[in-house]
Structure 1
Amino acid sequence: MRNKSDDRPDPLDFSEFGPEATWRRGLNDIAAALRFYTRLPLFGRRAENHGAPDFARMAWATPIAGAVVGVIGACIFAFCVWANLSPIVAAGVSLAAMIVTTGAFHEDGLADTADSLGAYTVQDRLEVMRDSRIGTFGACALILSLLLRAGLLASIFEAHGLLAACLVLIAAETTSRAGSLAMGYSLPPARSEGAAISAGKPTGDGFFHAALVAGLVTALCVATTIGFGTGLAAFAAVYLAAFLMVRFAARMYRGQTGDAAGATQQVATLAFLAAVAMLR
């Protein structure tokens, strides 16, 4: 007769801890990050097949999803330049491609966060962020963000050339997504329900490993093409922007929300590009 205790895993079975299991878990985390951060028709995108992402486990893969988005944007930018479009137009088309890839995921967070600035209480701000309609603050924030990102990318291209501009774009998308994890890592959820609760909180190890991946990508993409000092400054600018956004969310919402994390990614991207553009 089978004892119930036989259903428990054998503490001496290490089959789930071998190299094959480690690779399998890593690939599953990357697939989960791509499902969450992009609209690419890959990895079983149908939402009914997957629950909310577990950031306690997959946080380290967040910058990899950003790198994929950045590679798509860089390829479109390079093609537009090759097709003799002006740098600013090429940058605009590249941004459009990345927005389609992500479904304007982070841009939506920026718009909602900006709209909440018009409210006077924490509860009212959270209610404004729930509203899917875009107000004046949100529209202005989106327009300014897109203009600045396109202008900065075009400026980097004119100063450093096509290869450097493409690599900087990849690094910016990678590092900004790692930096946006600071919101979930540093603050409790502002609401008692919602995506911030179901997704879980990045662990310290996950946050550190995401930063490590972002740092390696920045070193490969920026330090080797423009300079170590520029790469270091851009990396630091992302985490300074993330720190300021965490302070902003703590004061305005008494916690973190998905929209605030999305806004953090957008601000961090601008900080990265601005640091590279200024340090010529």
Structure 2
Amino acid sequence: MLSRWPVGQGDPDAPPGPDMVWAFPLIGAGHGLIAGATGAVALWLGLTPFAAAVLALAALAASTGMLHEDGLADCADGFHGGHTPERRLAIMKDSRLGTYGALTLMLATLLKLAALAALPLQAWIPALMLAGAGSRAAILWPMARMDQARPGGLSAGFGLPSGRSIAVAFALAGAVAILMGGRAGLPMLAIGCLATLPVQIRARRLIGGQTGDVLGAAQQWAEIAILLTAALLWG
């Protein structure tokens, strides 16, 4: 669901249950560990911070399959390319990438590169693990509080997680935040959650609720916010 790593031979016709969301922060932390270790090794070998950041993001993209980046681009195209909710949703479902989506992906990637390049070697793994866990927990907020904009979409098919699963997810995200960020960890997690608000507000106004693409865009905003905060605090 959130990874390109093989994790067993499940039934391909049976969608994952919504109560698996408790594991989202752990999956995100794993992605962050892979990316952070890649960047840290590149820095240790003598590459420039920018080159190391590019390699770290490449490792992250390979690990995640860029599911959330796709959602970010689709939202940018749909929100800005359509004039009615129906037309916006149709554009978001289209697999082709438009100008709005391409530019948004470019700017999002540049923000991540700039944040990572500003970090010292010892902060790469903590920052990326915290961003990975925190941003995956942050998407549970719009998932739980927003109506479905497309009844037949991926998010609607996934279903609504229970309050217990969401609580466990945030507890795990908080634990990762404290372990990786110390006293700054929980405030950084809160910043990531708050960064999803602009996505939620625009999605509710423009398409009437959330979709899988909206959740992906929310994750990307949260990840960027946490990495930029890490750059400010630890850079």
TM-score, scaled to structure 2: 0.94
* Whole-angstrom distance in 2 between the partners of 1:95 and 1:276: 16
Q: Indicate the residue corresponding to 1:180 in structure 2.
A: 139
Matched, 1:239 2:193: yes
Quote the residue 2:8 is aligned against: 43
TM-superposed deviation, 1:244: 3.0
**Which structure carries more relative contact order (alpha carbon 8 Å, separation 6+)?**
2
Q: Distance in 2 between matches of 1:275 and 1:236?
A: 11
Q: Which residue of 2 aligns with 1:88?
A: 50
**Do the aligned residues in 1 keep the contact of 2:16 with 2:158 (CA within 8 Å)?**
yes
Question: In 1, Cα distance between the equivalents of 2:189 and 2:98?
Answer: 32
Greater C-alpha radius of gyration: 1
Equivalent in 132, 139, 144 of residue 107 of structure 2? 144
**What's the offset of the Cα at 1:134?**
0.5
CA apart distance, 1:66:
0.5
1:200-211 map, 5 Å: 200-211=159-170
Q: Mapping of 1:6-155 within 5 angstroms?
A: 36-44=1-9, 49=12, 51-55=14-18, 57-116=19-78, 117-155=80-118
Report what 1:214 is aligned to: 173
Instruction: State the 1:178 CA deviation.
Output: 0.6
> Alpha carbon RMSD of aligned pairs, Å?
1.4
Aligned CA distance change for structure 1 residues 50 and 43 (closer, same or farther; 3 Å) = farther
Q: Is the 8 A contact 1:186 1:246 kept in 2?
A: no
Equivalent residues of 1:182, 1:246 under 8 A apart: no
Letter in 2 for 1:64: L
Question: Quick check: 1:122–1:252 contact (8 Å CA) kept in 2?
Answer: yes
For the 8 Å contact 2:195–2:218, the answer to whether it is kept is yes
Q: Which amino acid aligns with 1:145?
A: A
Q: How many residues align?
A: 233
Secondary structure at the aligned position of 1:120 is classed as coil
- Work out the CA distance in 2 between the residues paired with 1:78 and 1:175: 21
Answer whether contact 2:156 2:211 (CA < 8 A) is retained.
Answer: no
199-208 or 129-138, larger mean C-alpha shift: 199-208
Q: Distance in 1 between matches of 2:153 and 2:187?
A: 35
Match of 2:203 among 233, 244, 249: 249
The CA deviation string for residues 9-51 of structure 1, in whole angstroms up to 9 with x for no partner, is xxxxxxxxxxxxxxxxxxxxxxxxxxx1011133227xx5352
Q: Which runs of 5+ in 2 are unaligned?
A: none
Gaps of 5+ in 1: 1-35
Superposition misfits of 4+ residues, deviation over 4 angstroms = none
Amino acid at match of 2:143: G
1:51 is paired with a residue of what secondary structure?
Answer: coil
Equivalent pair of 1:59/1:202 in contact (CA under 8 Å): yes
Q: Please state whether the residue corresponding to 2:139 is helix, strand or coil.
A: helix
Amino acid at match of 2:61: I
